[in-house]
Amino acid sequence: MGKIAFVYPGQGAQYPGMGLNLNERDLFARFTFNQMDQVRPGTSDQCFYGDMETLTQTVNTQPCIFAVELSGTNALLSRGIVPDMVAGFSLGEVAALTVSGAVDVPTGLSMVTERAKLMQAASEQVDSAMIAVMKLDAAKVAELCTAHPETYPVNYNCPGQTVVAGKKDQLGALKADIKSAGGRVMPLRVSGGFHSPFMTEAAEQFGTYLQGVNFGDFKMPLYSNYTAQPYDGDVRNLLQQQICNPIQWQTLGENMIAAGTTTFIEVGPGNVLSGLIRRIDKSVHTYHVEDWESLDQTVNEVTAHV
């Protein structure tokens, strides 16, 4: 029998009304949203009623997505669906860290809130953005970036998809080169050039903040964006380095599959990670949980499959 992994999306997955349906219909989700509001008042209202402009501000995006991720997780756990391993994309890694048992929910939200504040401040210091590049391999994208100062491949998502962070005044020319090379470009709904050298100061400040956080034992393997391997050694360093270094999502997914995962459940808004995982390996099963309907469907199908 294969293993189950829970995976958690990052910024760009947000949308107005996320989590409202779960909050209305699931007791465990509602309890979790209440927990979030005790740590960061107004979080649930931003999820349920905030507009897209509000939700795309990093200081709001990260805690709001985290709230939806943990609420969906607790709804799943209450129905007997338990992961064998976890991972998260960018801020989703803090959700995965929390689910792994290394920190409790209030601590996880406090970490995300601090992380968001520091990354927002760093993004305001440079006019940067992120674009997803499709139809080109990662090596070609890296080659094209070398001709444009301060553009960096930062998310190695899956075969044929790499995300680039860069200064906006450089990205225009890079987009033209990408199209000339046969690639396609899609802008991302984020407020800065994350996982790049633009975030070095934020990463250092987050590392200082983490010195005051106590981490417990992991109840299951948690895969790192930075190394693509299960967490081992200095937890604080892995969380710090993740902010200013590329995300190795394709390799991470391949490693989780090699470790026996045959079922991935994406928990949180949207289903972007599910699509990436299917492009990494078509043989695995993917599900997602973001509202009552997808929760019910996932529980029924995973229970029948497993």
DSSP 238-273: HHHHHHHS-B-HHHHHHHHHHTTEEEEEEESSS-HH
Answer whether residue 31 shows pLDDT above 90: yes
pLDDT digits (tens, 9 = 90+) for 280-301: 999 999 999 999 999 999 999 9
Residue 161 β-bridge partners: 134, 158
Tokens of 120: 């927002």
> Of 205, 10, 192, whose CA–CA distance to 90 is shortest?
10
Answer whether residue 1 shows pLDDT above 70: no
Is 224 within 8 Å of 242 (Cβ atoms)? yes
Is 198 within 8 Å of 165 (Cβ atoms)? yes
- How does the average pLDDT of the chain come out, rounded? 96
| pLDDT bucket at 257, cuts 50 / 70 / 90 | very high
| Measured CA distances, 148 to 136, 172, 257 (Å) | 17, 10, 35
> Of 192, 169, 277, 167, whose CA–CA distance to 243 is shortest?
192
CATH 3.30.70.250 intervals, the chain: 128-187
The catalytic residue among 100, 128, 195, 196 is 195
pLDDT digits (tens, 9 = 90+) for 57-72: 999 999 999 999 999 9
Give the mean model confidence (pLDDT) for residues 75-86: 97
Give the mean model confidence (pLDDT) for residues 84-100: 98
192 vs 122: CA distance, rounded Å:
8
The catalytic residue among 71, 90, 100, 294 is 90
Fold for domain 3-123+197-305?
Answer: Malonyl-Coenzyme A Acyl Carrier Protein; domain 2 (3.40.366)
Is 289 within 8 Å of 267 (Cβ atoms)? yes
pLDDT digits (tens, 9 = 90+) for 113-135: 999 999 999 999 999 999 999 99
For 9-88, list the strands marked E by DSSP: 85-88
> Of 159, 124, 138, whose CA–CA distance to 250 is shortest?
159
How far apart, in Å, do the first and last CA atoms of the chain sit?
A: 7
CATH 3.40.366.10 intervals, the chain: 3-123+197-305
Q: Which helix (H) or strand (E) holds 282?
A: none
> Of 91, 120, 83, 104, whose CA–CA distance to 39 is shortest?
104
Give the mean model confidence (pLDDT) for residues 101-108: 97
pLDDT digits (tens, 9 = 90+) for 199-243: 999 999 999 999 999 999 999 999 999 999 999 989 999 999 999
| pLDDT bucket at 306, cuts 50 / 70 / 90 | low
| pLDDT bucket at 191, cuts 50 / 70 / 90 | confident
Give the mean model confidence (pLDDT) for residues 177-185: 96
Q: Is 128 a catalytic residue?
A: no
Fold for domain 128-187?
Answer: Alpha-Beta Plaits (3.30.70)
Q: Is 90 a catalytic residue?
A: yes
Percent of the chain residues past pLDDT 90, beyond the cut: 96
Q: What pLDDT does 304 receive?
A: 85
